[in-house]
Structure 1
């Protein structure tokens, strides 16, 4: 008791208050000017390329080919041309449909699977958890040929056409997104107290009722994180989408890759349209982060402290 009183008196004498400016100065790892320089450098490394892409998208192809950073004349013509030259509308629709379906289904399946793995003890539980972790170390490039052979053989043995369909690409992405999403939810559910579930069961709630009314609302940050990562997996993928799709089912990433490859070797590549199409393809992901950013911090740090 005397030690605590001494510490409080010493803090009062030195002007040290929790949350005060003096405390922030003591706990700061770097001096203020050096920290400002480092943060400014990091922001410049990230924002300058994005600024150049935007300026090139409103510049002429000749100006971009000359290496102009600031365009001599601003025009939004490139943003109107990409819908016919790149075929971006169909690609964006396919990407939103496939990646969005993967995110929703993966998030819903992962929370139910993780709830069983965390709250119940059964034979093979640890094996499943270790298997989910081991699946994250398998490179996707090694699975392209096996997945393609498996899905192409389905047309011969089962009479079901999988290659070239949107739902076939959805199953492919779900195969890789579900283990990661499940592991994220396992980490998150381990930090939830069991007392809430026990109180709900005392009130007569079933296992499904506990999952829907108790676990799901409390796990919303983790569900958002797992869904966003699953969405990014489908949105940014080019390897599987180029193999598993046809021209009518190709995603925006594949359409952008084909458009860029078709311009190689030309007199003046349409750099402005390529930059405009890149920004349009990146816009949905940025909007998604801005909408769900308040859930990302809580979901990513889940399980860090018990």
Structure 2
């Protein structure tokens, strides 16, 4: 009797929603469908508008872009060829890839090891260390630039080796700034992993290192990917530290674009087409990175959010 009553009530509610023009999936929507489509369209225009403008300008003439033309009047695909000789883009991309990939790999695996200790072991100062990870994220990079420069200069004097102007200087700087956030991401992720697997491995005689490398790391790839991508983007998009800690041979792609843009200010018509082409070329690795690791990003960012 109770089951029949419940079924009848559910059928009546469904019929009422159909009568009112409401479908089952629409109950969970925060906005009505027309308004939702409008909001999504506006957001897409805001996000994709500048990218489409850059794409059109990269194959347009400099005079047309300077005149405010949106669509190309003439197609100049040679901008993508000329930019390699106009800008030191090849060397900048090579330096950016070497430094950023190294930072991403080292930061990701240091973060998972540090987070494993913070999550699975109890020791004095653990909570203070966890809170300090968040506090370090609130310090602006502009306040740290001068101390980092002075520190590297002092170390170079003491050790008798060149630090400023080298890739290791950028590597150490980016790793220092990316590690706190990456560690916190991994702490959040590892809290959601079941301890039963680790306990079973310990019963079988596995050491902490073996548990970390054979159980924790294979189960933590979404969080590791998020940590690595964050570290990669931190170095790839940085201009402030890279412009101070590099020289013309070790400058990154972001600094090469900045220098190219600064040389185009004033005087004749700037090389707008080549500037846009260089910007799009530098954006390709980041877009490819997101497309390759997209399925890991969702799991890594949302893990630990529901308990």
What does residue 210 of structure 1 align with?
211
Residues 80 and 204 from structure 1, CA distance in 2 versus in 1: closer, same or farther, beyond 3 angstroms? same
Name the CA distance, whole Å, in 2 between partners of 1:9 and 1:187: 44
**Farther off after superposition, 229-238 or 193-202:** 193-202
2:180 aligned residue: 179
Equivalent residue number for residue 13 of structure 2: 14
Q: What CA distance in whole angstroms lies between the structure 1 residues aligned with 2:7 and 2:145?
A: 64
Alpha-carbon distance in structure 1 between the residues aligned to 2:5 and 2:128: 53
Corresponding residue number in structure 2 for 1:90 = 91
Aligned match of 1:79: 80
Which whole-Å CA distance do the structure 2 matches of 1:6 and 1:221 have between them? 45
| Alpha-carbon distance in 2 for matches of 1:144, 1:28 | 46
**Matches of 2:52 and 2:273 in 1, distance apart?**
13
Q: Compared with structure 1, are the counterparts of its residues 7 and 269 closer, same or farther at alpha carbon in structure 2 (3 Å cutoff)? A: same
Distance 2:133 2:86 in 1: 42
Q: State the SS of the aligned residue for 1:242.
A: helix
Gaps of at least 5 residues in structure 2 are 16-21
Question: Can you list the C-alpha shifts for 1:110-162, whole angstroms capped at 9, x where unaligned?
Answer: 00000000000011111111111110111111000000000011111111211
The 2-side partners of 1:40 and 1:46 are apart by 10
In structure 1, the residue matched to 2:18 is none
1:115-154 alignment to 2 at 5 Å? 115-154=116-155
Name the Cα RMSD after superposition.
1.4
Tell me the TM-score normalised to structure 2 length: 0.95
Q: Is the partner of 1:204 in helix, strand or coil?
A: coil
Secondary structure at 2:23 match in 1: helix
Mapping of residues 99-114 of structure 1, within 5 Å = 99-114=100-115
Q: Show structure 1 runs of 4+ deviating over 4 A.
A: none
Distance apart, 1:23 and its partner CA: 2.0
- The 3 A distance-change label for structure 1 pair 255 and 126 is same
Separation of aligned partners in 1, 2:78 and 2:26: 51
Change (3 A) 1:8 1:135: farther
More off after superposition, 248-257 vs 158-167: 158-167
- State TM-score, norm by structure 1: 0.95
* 2:39 equivalent in structure 1: 38
Give the alignment of 1:136-285 within 5 angstroms: 136-285=137-286
CA drift at 1:8: 4.1
3-state DSSP class of the match of 1:246? coil
Shift in Å at residue 206 of structure 1? 1.3
Q: CA deviation at 1:70?
A: 0.9
The CA deviation string for residues 46-93 of structure 1, in whole angstroms up to 9 with x for no partner, is 111111100000011111111111111112111001111111000000
Superposed CA offset, 1:167-187 (max 9, x none): 111000000000110010001
> How many residues are treated as equivalent by the alignment?
301
Change (3 A) 1:6 1:149: farther
Q: Label 1:128 to 1:268 Cα distance change in 2 as closer, same or farther (>3 A).
A: same
- For 1:131 and 1:14, the matched residues in 2 are separated by 52
What residue is the counterpart of 2:289 in the other structure?
Answer: 288
CA deviation after TM superposition for structure 1 residue 248, in Å: 0.1
